[in-house]
Structure formats: C-alpha cells, structure tokens
Amino acid sequence: MRYSSACAWRTCLFVIAFLGSSTCAIAADAPLTLEQAIAAALQKDPRLQTFSFRLRAADARVAQAALPPALEVSLDLENVAGTGETSGFDDAEATFALSQVIELGDKRESRIGLGQAGRDAMTIDRAAAQLDVLADVARRFITVAQRQQQLQLSREAVELAQHTVVASERRVNAAKSPHAELDRARIALDRALLDERGAGIELDTARSQLAATWGETEPVINGERIGDVAADLFALPPPGDFPELAARLAGNPDLLRFASEARLRDAELRLAAGQRRPNLTVGVGLRHLEATNDQAFVLSASMPLFSARRASSLVAEAEANRELVDSEERVARIRAQAILYELHQQITQATLVARTLKDDIQPRSAEALKETEYAYERGRYSYIELVDAQREYLSVRESLIEAAATAHTLRAEIERLTNAPLTAATP
C-alpha cells in the first residue's frame, strides 16, 4: 500500500472537531486554523524533508540491483621472462578474453525485489512520520486553544477581583466591614493580575512551541505573528465505538510497516535461496601464438562448487528473520489494541466530565456566584463566602477547560493510532 502527503493530510484535517476556516491563506488579523498549521508543518518539518533524499537513494539502489554482472576483459601473457628459449618474447602467447557471469536462480529478480521492498518500507515509514508530525501539530494546536481559554479565565478572575474590591470599599466606607477585608480583596486582585500575566506568558510559549513544528523559533507563520487560533474547545468530540476503532488499527502505518517488513524479509529469503544455485562464468577470447604466428579462439566456463551447502546458513538466517517479523507483529497488534482501549476509556471519561461540567455544574456555579455577589453587596454574606463562591466558579471553569482539552488531545491520539477520523470528515 502506498501513502502520500495528501492521504495523511485528509486524515488529520479532521483530527479535532473545533476547526475554524478551511482556507490555507493566512491574514495578519485572521485566527490561525489547524489546516494552516498542518500545511506549514508538512512543507517545512525537517523530519519529513529527509525522506525525499532517502527515497532517491532507495531508487538508486533499485536501479543498481537491476544491473546485470559487469562484462570482464582480461589479457594473459604466457611463456615470457623465463629461461632458455622463453627468456624473451619469442615464444610468448598472448590471450585477450571477454567473460560474463550468468546468474542462475533468479538472483537478479530477487535483488530487484529486495530493493523495491526496501523502498516500500521507507514509504510506510514516511507515512508514519507524517502522522507523527501532524499529531504533534494537533496536540500543540490544542494546547494553544487551551491556553487561550485559560487566559480568558484569568481575565475574568481579574474582573471578579476588581468587583470585589469595589464592593469591599463600599462596605468599609459604610462601616459594615473592617478595613482588613478591603486589604484582602486588594491582595486577591494583585494575585489575579499576576496570574493573568503568567497565563499570557504560557500562551505565548504555547504559540512558540506550535511554530517550532514548521521550523520557526518565534511564534510566527509566513512572516506574520500568530494571534488566536480558530478553535471551539468546548465542541466536544465523540468517543467513537471501540469495535469500529479497533477495526481501523489495520490502517496504522506502524502496523502496516510489519507487512512491508515481511515483504522485505521474503525478498531476502528468495535472494538467499537463490544462492543455492551457483553462477556460471563463461568466456571467449583470442590467443596469439608467437612461435607460429597463429591465432586461435579460447573458450572457458567455470562454476563454484558446494554452493548449496554454503548458502544453507544464509537461508536459515533469512527464515529466522521472517518468522521474527510475524512474532513482532503479533506483539505490536496486541499492544496497539490495549493502548487503543485505554485511550477510548479515557476519552469517554474526559468527554463525560467535560459535558457534565459544561451543561450542569458550570451554570449552577455561575448562578450561585451571582446570588452570593448580590447577597454580599447587601451585607447578608461575608467576604469569605463571596471568595469561596468565586473560587468554586473559577475552579469549575478551569476543570472544564482541562477536561475539554484532554478530550481533544485523546481524540488526536486515537486518530494517530487508527489513521482515521472518529467520524466522517465533512467537505
């Protein structure tokens, strides 16, 4: 099976459900989409660029394997520089000959098959490398989306702290609360501002790490600085049906590599088996007899002995390597299915947690905070009760962001493992 960048592109374009615009043109003020990040990584990632050179080398090896044995030319001089009548060149015999090795046992075809199998294995490796790159882009893209939400949440925390300071000032001025309460509110505001600054730094770091996938040391793409990413973090992905996901494991390049490896080992086995039949070397030449000034043709043929015995160890090694591939494939399939099962359980749990937080807990915590703020401003609740309500609300929002990001990251991992989206991609 052959793979191309377009194949991996189609798979990973649907790697997460919160994609923005599908256009790959970047504008200075437009949010960065996953498609744009993928396009940049596929074009510039050094891990993928090396495969063009490796494939060219593999093509050269196939071409070299297709060449027949070289024609050999030889010149022999006999009866020269001896003693007596052979002390000079009077009795010299010169033979000019051409010889050719005739390969038996389909050795040439086996070499070509071995070279082509090696190239096919490299193609599978490239497909796996493409999925690794795209999965890496997806994970870092999700991290940027998560950091965006965390920065937004930190700004909301600053707003809550500012409102608390204002409300505390009114209560202190009205002699309804001690001045220490206002000091605590201002301390909370200062800490919220520090957290906001830290969230901004983390977001900028995440953008830089995303840009590193296309070889940039700064958070830029196509010369423009990365702003927000086009992503709806709370559009939760479906967990998918495990039996269907398990059936897709067969399309994983990591497992397809074993099929390619098996073909490679089969080619090695055929080549080793071909060594049992010895090559035949034939030659024809022209001999000049100096003594009589005559010429005569010379014919020759040679073949090595005991080739089958010498090739037996090569065949045994090739057979063992072939059986090893089957054993490693069984281990890899079992391990891949176990990992897939674990990922499926995790995404099911993460999606359930995120959906419960989003649809149930967050609205109630927001309503509780609103009621607490109302009661605090009217003196019915204490500062401690207000701060507890704020912390609970912010904690719920933080948990929602983390659970949603985890669900999307797990989805990207599953799609990397199965080489297919969880649902059919839309046009």
What's the pLDDT tens digit per position in 392-403? Answer: 999 999 999 999
Q: In this predicted model, which residue has the larger pLDDT, 25 or 123?
A: 123
pLDDT at residue number 366: 94
Q: Which residues contact 15 (CB under 8 A, 6 or more apart)?
A: 34, 134, 135, 138, 411, 412, 415, 421
Taking residues 246-267, report their average pLDDT.
77
pLDDT at residue number 89: 63
Q: Which CATH architecture has domain 5-418?
A: Up-down Bundle (1.20)
Q: At what angle do helices 383-418 and 107-173 cross, to 10 degrees?
A: 170
pLDDT at residue number 421: 63
- Note if the pTM is more than 0.85: no
pLDDT at residue number 327: 85
pLDDT at residue number 141: 95
Q: What are the start-end ranges of the H helices in 234-380?
A: 242-247, 253-274, 307-356, 362-377
Q: β-strands 72-78, 280-289: how paired?
A: unpaired
- Taking Cα atoms as reference points, which of 126, 120, 118, 1 lies closest to residue 65? 118
pLDDT at residue number 145: 95
Taking residues 20-43, report their average pLDDT.
67
Taking residues 107-116, report their average pLDDT.
81
pLDDT at residue number 4: 43
Counting residues of the chain whose pLDDT is more than 70, the rounded percentage is 88
CB atoms within 10 A of CB 396: 20
